[in-house]
Chains A and B, each alone.
Chain A
Amino acid sequence: QKEVEQNSGPLSVPEGAIASLNCTYSDRGSQSFFWYRQYSGKSPELIMSIYSNGDKEDGRFTAQLNKASQYVSLLIRDSQPSDSATYLCAADLSGGYNKLIFGAGTRLAVHP
């Protein structure tokens, strides 16, 4: 069974801090990884994608990928209360047709 695992949280961080969200996956053949943000009652929104080992930065977000350890992470710098949401990690386990397998999500709470 191909899986994507995340800690369900909640992860509570103070405003202005760095939030670190982690994800592991079971299939070494996975090539593409994604982070989605889902506000309560809303649909998932794509915020980051990463395909190569290392870091990828976009504004306050940094995605990190380590294929040897089968580990993906998302760092959110200068966390804001508006970042409070569930963050879903997803891996393309289909070999290229975007059949994404999602983790159960980590709930992030940023408190003032």
Chain B
Amino acid sequence: GAGVSQSPSNKVTEKGKDVELRCDPISGHTALYWYRQSLGQGLEFLIYFQGNSAPDKSGLPSDRFSAERTGGSVSTLTIQRTQQEDSAVYLCASSRDRGLFFGPGTRLTVL
């Protein structure tokens, strides 16, 4: 497909477990972003990649959150020792010029 893809679409985990969320951006888009959206809340910026580098990771909420990008393409967001407040929809977006194009998101539920 031509759009941003994310997997899994839904993830239910127990408190304290680690999770990995994957994003495959639009081909040719060098910039990649992670946002999260909690129930009834706005979009919260997490991290920005240009190529494989992350010049802005100012939105990561704690050191339990990390992300990497390889080959200038796929990115993985990892949350260690998940907490209930991590429950949200995690959205990945990519961009070539201006404006962001979002994937369908991963709905994370921490029990």
Contacts and interface: CB of A to CB of B under 8 A. Distances in A.
Question: How many B residues touch the partner, as a band?
Answer: 20 to 34
Contact of B102 (A43, A103, A104): A43
15 contacts: A43-B89, A43-B91, A43-B103, A44-B43, A46-B99, A46-B100, A49-B99, A51-B98, A97-B31, A97-B50, A98-B95, A98-B98, A101-B45, A103-B42, A104-B41
Contacts of B100: 34, 46, 98, 100
Given A46-B100, A102-B42, A104-B41, A94 B105 contact: no
Given A104-B41, A104-B42, A98 B99 contact: yes
B72 interface: no
A108 interface: no
Contacts of B98: 32, 49, 51, 92, 98
B35 to A, nearest CB: 8
Interface of A: 32, 34, 42-46, 49, 51, 88, 92, 94, 97-105
B42 A97 contact: no
Contacts of B33: 98-99
A93 B15 CA distance: 35
Nearest to A103: B42
Nearest to A98: B95
A21 B41 CA distance: 18
A44 B103 CA distance: 9
A97 B99 CA distance: 10
A94 B43 contact: no
Q: Which of B42, B101, B105 has the most CB of A within 10 A?
A: B42
B104 interface: yes
Nearest to B56: A99
A99 B43 contact: no
Contacts of A103: 42
